[in-house]
Amino acid sequence: QQPVQSPQAVILREGEDAVINCSSSKALYSVHWYRQKHGEAPVFLMILLKGGEQKGHDKISASFNEKKQQSSLYLTASQLSYSGTYFCGTEDAAAGNKLTFGGGTRVLVKP
């Protein structure tokens, strides 16, 4: 079953913050975050492997709450280059490296 992402879309002004959530009905082994620009392939941002883990990439960070079976991606002081569609990909214990992707969150950062 596909993880649920929220919100579906968000519009930001440059410098503003945003949070994207990813929730699963299954127990998760890992959560992967990607960003996709229009007409291009998804680009890997980060992977979270353990409950409670937090990671950062530039001013984009993420957390993984294993108990709640959810992950959040934080866009801090957003830049124009952050625009795109963000997908979470979840891996459950039986998946064997297979990821199930959420519906995506479209982010538009305006000047």
Cα–Cα nearest to 20, from 67, 78, 66 = 78
Nearer to another protein, 96 or 111 (CB): 96
Choose between 77 and 93: whose C-beta lies nearer to another protein. Answer: 93
DSSP state of 44: E
For another protein, how many residues bind (rule: CB under 8 A)?
22
- Asked if 6 touches another protein (CB under 8 A), the answer is no
The angle subtended at Cα 83 by Cα 81 and Cα 86, nearest 5°, is 120
Pick 34 or 82: Cβ nearer another protein: 34
Dist CA 50 CA 69 (whole Å): 11
* Contacts to another protein by CB under 8 A: 2, 30, 32, 34, 40-44, 47, 49, 87, 89, 96-104
